[in-house]
Structure 1
Amino acid sequence: MQDSKSNYRVLVADDIRSAREVLRSWLSELKMEVTLVMDGRCAIESINETPPDLIITDIEMPRMSGLELINAIRGSDDPLINQLPVVVVTSLLDKEIGDVVGHFGGTTAMIKPLDKLTTQTLVRGILSSNMPTKIDDNKELTDTMGISSAISPTLRRLMRKAQK
Structure 2
Amino acid sequence: MNILVVDDSRTMRDLVSRELRKDGYEVETSEDGVEALERISDFLPAVIITDLNMPRMDGLQLTRALRARSDTKYVPIIFLTTETGDDLRRAAREAGATGWIVKPFDGPKLLAAVRRVSA
Q: Does TM, normalized by the shorter one, top 0.5?
A: yes
Q: Distance in 1 between matches of 2:49 and 2:111?
A: 12
Q: Distance in 1 between matches of 2:94 and 2:13?
A: 25
Of the three residues 92, 101, 105, the one matched with 2:92 is 101
Over aligned residues, Cα RMSD in angstroms? 1.1
SS in 1 for 2:3: strand
Q: Which has the higher contact order (CA 8 A, sep 6+)?
A: 2
Of the three residues 17, 38, 42, the one matched with 2:10 is 17
- Count the aligned residue pairs: 119
SS in 1 for 2:41: helix
Moved over 4 A (4+): none
TM (normalized to structure 2)? 0.94
- Name the structure 2 match of 1:47: 40
- Name the structure 1 match of 2:56: 63
Q: Distance in 1 between matches of 2:12 and 2:81?
A: 11
Counterparts of 1:27-42 in structure 2 under 5 Å?
Answer: 27-42=20-35
CA contact (8 A) 1:54 1:86 kept: yes
Letter in 1 for 2:14: E
Q: Distance in 1 between matches of 2:61 and 2:113?
A: 23
CA contact (8 A) 1:98 1:108 kept: no
Give the deviation of 1:49 after TM superposition. Answer: 2.5
Give the deviation of 1:48 after TM superposition. Answer: 2.3
Q: Which structure: greater strand fraction? A: 2
Letter in 2 for 1:30: D
SS in 1 for 2:72: helix
- Name the structure 1 match of 2:78: 87
Letter in 2 for 1:92: E
Give the deviation of 1:96 after TM superposition. Answer: 2.9
Q: Distance in 1 between matches of 2:96 and 2:85?
A: 18
CA contact (8 A) 1:11 1:36 kept: yes
TM (normalized to structure 1)? 0.69
CA contact (8 A) 1:92 1:111 kept: yes
Q: Distance in 1 between matches of 2:65 and 2:25?
A: 24
